[in-house]
């Protein structure tokens, strides 16, 4: 916890109170209001946490004005181009870039946990065939608590470590099996001689009658998608994981809560919603009508893949993703892709429109990711599960950090009550 070197003054009527101000290593100062209610008897009001730091963290830093995203200090564009997903996982989990032998050891620990307990197959079979893979993932990840008892004791650092590795290792298998069940194909077991992304692609696309040869360029693109989504500080799903964990819940229950939160269209569900929107727009001549609708306050429609709570200039992940979309389509020989053409024209027209400029709305990471995933052969329903696979390391790293924090206590927001004051119960015949 940072030391306070300055104070803020709060004046209510003729009373003034000093509140400590904490300074981060980089970023805006934070007014420490932990003792405010005890000393002054008032709460603060901040729905959506737009001005509230709910924890301190050393994992990820975002500067929304400058479009900066750092993991443990390293810029995301450097990690996306020079590193790879499992190395970024190590970095997020342990705080530093591994040596060659540390990375080898970490990769072998992850690959040794890729299989699921055989009995877990019955969970998949219990779902309707048309179940959304995210629904299956929420259920199956929560159910891991019933299969891996030896890593649910959060007071034991070793069990926390094993749970972390299990979650990172098994999430691709769970997502791939949810997909296989959804499309009515037999599940494919993981292969530990493949790297993380290639193994995931093979578990999704291989069938018993025809093996899937992993194209190294596609597996690199998949790995980059995983890397770009690996962590994003205290976003809605990560905060959900932290809040669930603050009660002492087991790791699998906490990560299942994060997956449930990620599913919403304002968060991880935006990649699916964005591609569906681009297809609905159909071709560039229809764009002005959709821009008009997005600006109309009486129309609930929003441009999906546009806007961000924190980024107010550009999303650094979107830049890499756009470049990746061009590369992947090029490599697959997909020329004149109508969706990509619509996306680029929509981006251009929206950025020229004063509404989007004034509100600082720019394409986010989800604007181009769906185009890449579709080109790889994924249906839209798999986009958010792939986000969940990628973000697992972020959730796990933040969860571990929180449990190691001596200040960790149950999360319990307060409220501004606007309901009835006390009144007497009225018997039913007198109402």
Residues 314, 362 contacting (CB under 8 angstroms): yes
Closer by beta carbon to ligand CMC, 34 or else 292: 292
Other CB atoms within a 10 A radius of the CB of residue 10 amount to: 17
**From 366, 368, 386, 402, residue interacting with ligand CMC (rule: CB under 6 A):** 366
Minimal CB distance residue for ligand CMC? 307
Closer by beta carbon to ligand CMC, 142 or else 307: 307
Pick from 320, 408, 337: nearest CA to 371? 337
* 361 contributes a contact to ligand CMC by CB under 6 A: yes
Q: Which stretch binds ligand CMC (CB under 6 A): 29-37, 145-153, 359-367, 404-412?
A: 359-367
What's the min distance (Å) between Cβ of 357 and ligand CMC?
11
* 303 contributes a contact to ligand CMC by CB under 6 A: yes
Query: What is the total count of residues that contact ligand CMC (CB under 6 A)?
Result: 19
* 365 contributes a contact to ligand CMC by CB under 6 A: yes
* 304 contributes a contact to ligand CMC by CB under 6 A: yes
CA 32 to each of CA 13, 88, 408: distance values in angstroms, whole numbers, following the listed order: 21, 32, 16
What's the min distance (Å) between Cβ of 429 and ligand CMC?
47
d(CA 362, CA 359) in angstroms, rounded, equals 9
Restricting to residues 225-244, name those near ligand CMC by CB under 6 A. 235
32 is catalytic: no
Q: Contact letters (x/-) for ligand CMC, 195-224, by CB under 6 A?
A: ------------------------------
* 383 contributes a contact to ligand CMC by CB under 6 A: no
**From 144, 277, 294, 346, residue interacting with ligand CMC (rule: CB under 6 A):** 294
Q: Which stretch binds ligand CMC (CB under 6 A): 82-90, 120-128, 275-283, 364-372?
A: 364-372
* 293 contributes a contact to ligand CMC by CB under 6 A: no
* 268 contributes a contact to ligand CMC by CB under 6 A: yes
Any bridge partners for residue 20, and if so which? 7
Residues 231, 59 contacting (CB under 8 angstroms): yes
**From 137, 169, 257, 270, residue interacting with ligand CMC (rule: CB under 6 A):** 270
* 364 contributes a contact to ligand CMC by CB under 6 A: yes
Q: Which stretch binds ligand CMC (CB under 6 A): 209-217, 248-256, 356-364, 420-428?
A: 356-364
Secondary structure (3-state) at 102 = helix
What's the min distance (Å) between Cβ of 304 and ligand CMC?
5
Contacts of 111-116 with C-beta under 8 Å, sequence gap 24+, read 111/169, 111/192, 112/169, 112/192, 113/165, 113/166, 113/169, 113/170, 114/169, 114/170, 114/172, 114/173, 114/190, 114/192, 114/199, 115/170, 115/173, 115/189, 115/190, 116/170, 116/173, 116/174, 116/177
Pick from 365, 366, 347, 367: nearest CA to 357? 347
Other CB atoms within a 10 A radius of the CB of residue 427 amount to: 6
- Exposure string for 230-256, b = 16+ CB within 10 A, e = fewer: bbbbbbbbbbbbbbbbbeebbbbbbbb
Any bridge partners for residue 63, and if so which? 68
* 54 contributes a contact to ligand CMC by CB under 6 A: no
* 306 contributes a contact to ligand CMC by CB under 6 A: yes
Pick from 262, 283, 267, 409: nearest CA to 340? 283
308 is catalytic: yes
Residues 342, 374 contacting (CB under 8 angstroms): no
Q: What are phi and psi of 9, to 5 degrees?
A: -105, 125
Closer by beta carbon to ligand CMC, 90 or else 378: 378
Beta-carbon contacts of 161 under 8 Å, excluding residues fewer than 6 positions away, are none
**Residues 84, 195, 308, 315: which is the catalytic one?**
308
Any bridge partners for residue 10, and if so which? 17
Q: Is the dihedral of CA 11, 12, 13, 16 positive or negative?
A: negative
What's the min distance (Å) between Cβ of 367 and ligand CMC?
7
* 292 contributes a contact to ligand CMC by CB under 6 A: no
Q: Contact letters (x/-) for ligand CMC, 79-108, by CB under 6 A?
A: ------------------------------
Q: Which residues are catalytic?
A: 308, 366
* Residue numbers at the binding site for ligand CMC (CB under 6 A): 235, 266-268, 270, 294, 302-309, 359, 361, 364-366
């Amino acid at each position: 916890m940072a030391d306070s070197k300055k104070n803020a003054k709060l004046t209510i009527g003729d009373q003034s109170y000093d509140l400590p101000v904490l300074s981060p290593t980089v970023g805006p100062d934070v007014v420490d209001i932990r003792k405010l209610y005890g000393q002054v008897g008032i709460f603060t009001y901040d729905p959506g946490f737009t001005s509230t730091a709910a924890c301190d963290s050393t994992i990820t830093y975002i500067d929304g004005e400058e479009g900066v995203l750092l993991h443990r200090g390293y810029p995301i564009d450097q990690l996306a181009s020079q590193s790879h997903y499992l190395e970024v996982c190590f970095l997020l989990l342990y705080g530093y870039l591994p040596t060659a032998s540390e990375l080898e050891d970490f990769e072998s620990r992850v690959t040794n946990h890729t299989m699921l307990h055989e009995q877990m197959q019955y969970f998949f079979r219990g779902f309707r065939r048309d179940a959304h893979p995210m629904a299956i993932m929420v259920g199956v990840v929560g159910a891991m608590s019933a299969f891996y008892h030896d890593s649910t004791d959060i007071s034991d650092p070793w069990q926390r470590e094993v749970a972390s590795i299990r979650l990172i290792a098994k999430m691709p298998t769970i997502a791939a099996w949810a997909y296989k069940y959804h499309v009515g194909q037999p599940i494919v077991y993981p292969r530990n001689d493949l790297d993380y992304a290639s193994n995931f692609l093979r578990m999704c696309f291989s069938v018993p009658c025809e093996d899937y040869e992993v194209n190294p360029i596609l597996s690199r693109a998949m790995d980059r998608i995983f890397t770009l989504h690996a962590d994003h500080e205290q976003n809605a799903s990560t905060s959900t994981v932290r809040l669930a964990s603050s009660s002492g819940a087991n790791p699998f229950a906490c990560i299942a809560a994060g997956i449930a939160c990620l599913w919403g269209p304002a968060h991880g569900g935006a990649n699916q919603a964005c591609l569906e929107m681009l297809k609905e727009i159909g071709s560039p001549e229809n764009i002005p009508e959709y821009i008009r609708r997005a600006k109309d306050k009486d129309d609930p429609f929003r441009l999906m893949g546009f806007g961000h709570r924190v980024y107010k200039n550009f999303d650094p992940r979107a830049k890499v993703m756009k470049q990746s979309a061009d590369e992947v389509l090029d490599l697959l020989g997909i020329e004149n892709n109508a969706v990509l053409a619509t996306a680029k024209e929509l981006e251009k027209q929206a950025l020229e429109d004063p509404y989007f400029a004034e509100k600082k709305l720019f394409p986010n990471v989800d604007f181009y990711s769906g185009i890449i995933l579709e080109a790889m052969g994924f249906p839209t329903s798999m986009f958010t599960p792939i986000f969940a696979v990628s973000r697992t390391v972020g959730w796990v790293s933040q969860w571990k950090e929180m449990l190691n924090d001596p200040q960790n206590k149950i999360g319990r927001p307060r409220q501004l009550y606007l309901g009835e004051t006390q009144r007497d119960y009225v018997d039913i015949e007198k109402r």
